[in-house]
Amino acid sequence: MLQDDALKAQAFAVVEQGSSAADAWWNTLENEIAEYVSSADENFSAKAADLRDIRDRVMRTLEGETKMPMQSGSIFVGEDLPPTLFLETDWSQGGAIALKGGSSSGHVAMLARSRGVPMVIGLGEAWPGTYENAIVDGTAGLVHPAPPPELIAAYAKRSARDAEHRDADRQFLMQPALRRDGTRVDLQINIASVEELGQLDPASCDGIGLMRSEFLFRDGVALPNEDEQYRAYRAMLEWANGKPVTIRTLDVGGDKPLRGLTSEGKKNSFLGLRGIRLLLARPEVFRTQLKALARAAIHGNLKIMLPMVTLPRELEQSAVLLDQCVSELQSEGKVCSRPSLGIMVEVPAVAIAPELFAKAAFFSIGTNDLTQFVMASSRDETSAADLQDAAHPAIARLIAGVTAYGRANHIPVSLCGDMASVPENLPLLMEAGVTSLSVAPAALARVKSALSKI
């Protein structure tokens, strides 16, 4: 957003009229925020929080502030946490997040999950004020403000036990993922940005099982062009050094709106024009991404994954587009290769009838969306959160069916939904025949440890 010339130009124009930089910036952003807030689309009005974040961050810089905005080890309490504040905060000394609003599938939830920062959402007015001490229990989804000494002692004990478990798990990090009988489980990681890879050793996993490419596409700035995307994808392939890298094509819509691309207002629903449906409706956006991917593919073992596939023709049309993109690149004299094309299994129609997708190069089961659709409970809805149970027998049965179909027909099947990062779910997944998982990087050691006991 800061690279948006329109936004900067307005601020510079005010400076030219004699205002200070801080005043100019503040007033420009206030106008912009007011526009977002007045939007009829709830998702866009929620974006005002991002703009406030940017406004405040630039203000802090203009005012010469250099210290960390939040002390390491603090508990952040608020309506929502801006992603930049999360990224600017040093979480190495602990700390936690307690939100009155928030969503378990939002940007910050994903960042917190991948860094292992405890976070609780949807407190509503249950958070009464500011306290010297509080306990944030991310496992139970509970916040205890001003805890009595007995509770602090009980949690201190639990915290010490958890730390012991983490230490014990850590010895598994650089080992292959093996079950007790020595059966190898393919264990890859889910990532959202190239930056995340900086702290990760590729030897700790079997590759990248899900790269959520929507994080390259940011609201309020121009869509990334072919070269920008190519550079990001290439960096991931170079990091993986020959291990498989599965990059999912743009999956916006529903809880991931993108101004100018996704439908506005109520039409932007989880059941509407999103994922592959949107890409096929906007072929120029899809083609740019496919070209960037085909160019990056020469730098490693790249697979392309299509999100929210419902009908076989979506896969077929995408394959035709990919072939066209490859021929065009070749005639432009650009080196490229054609990656294999697989699909997310996250719409019930696909999980129930996987045989319709025999042409897919691979399946990756997305239990986050599959669960919301099977359980009829929206994944961003705090009041229906207890229905979001990926371990429900109905989901387990679908997973087993897809896995069995894949095995019988030599189509590799992996599972990249968040349920795979939770050790308690692993026996069920092994029972369902799953042999390949993709998890949050912070979960690698504990998943390997849990698998070794199964």
Catalog residues that contact ligand PEP under the rule CB under 6 A.
105, 210, 212, 251, 346, 366-369, 416-417
Interaction partner, residue 417 (ligand PEP, Mg ion, none; CB < 5-8 Å by kind) = ligand PEP
Report the C-alpha gap between 161 and 376 in whole angstroms: 37
Which of 29, 110 has the CB closer to ligand PEP? 110
Q: Per CB under 5 A, which region of 91-99, 103-111, 311-319, 369-377 contacts Mg ion?
A: 369-377
CB of 366 to ligand PEP, least distance (A): 3
CB of 307 to ligand PEP, least distance (A): 7
Report the C-alpha gap between 30 and 50 in whole angstroms: 12
Q: Per CB under 5 A, which region of 25-33, 53-61, 199-207, 340-348 contacts Mg ion?
A: 340-348
Nearest Cα residue to 133 out of 120, 146, 123: 146
Instruction: Out of 369, 432, 439, 444, point to the residue binding Mg ion (CB under 5 A).
Output: 369
419 by Cβ neighbours in 10 Å (0-12 / 13-18 / 19+) ranks as: buried
DSSP element (H, E) containing 144: strand 142-145
CB of 363 to ligand PEP, least distance (A): 12
Report the C-alpha gap between 359 and 378 in whole angstroms: 30
Catalytic status, residue 107: yes
CB of 193 to Mg ion, least distance (A): 17
Q: Which of 107, 205, 325, 336 is catalytic?
A: 107
Which of 117, 370 has the CB closer to ligand PEP? 370
Q: Which of 205, 325, 336, 416 is catalytic?
A: 416
Report the C-alpha gap between 411 and 31 in whole angstroms: 53
Catalytic status, residue 325: no
- Continuous H helices in 297-443: 312-331, 348-352, 367-374, 393-408, 426-431
User: Rule CB under 5 A: is residue 380 a binding residue for Mg ion?
Assistant: no
Report the C-alpha gap between 344 and 413 in whole angstroms: 10
Instruction: Out of 32, 314, 346, 418, point to the residue binding Mg ion (CB under 5 A).
Output: 346
CB of 276 to Mg ion, least distance (A): 11
Which of 215, 233 has the CB closer to ligand PEP? 215
Report the C-alpha gap between 356 and 364 in whole angstroms: 15
Interaction partner, residue 295 (ligand PEP, Mg ion, none; CB < 5-8 Å by kind) = none
Partnered with residue 79 across adjacent β-strands are: none
| Tokens describing residue 74 | 């603090």
C-alpha of 12 from chain center: 35
What is the size of the binding site for Mg ion (CB under 5 A)? Answer: 3
Report the C-alpha gap between 431 and 13 in whole angstroms: 64
User: Rule CB under 5 A: is residue 366 a binding residue for Mg ion?
Assistant: yes
Catalytic residue numbers read 107, 416
Site residues (CB under 5 A) for Mg ion?
Answer: 346, 366, 369
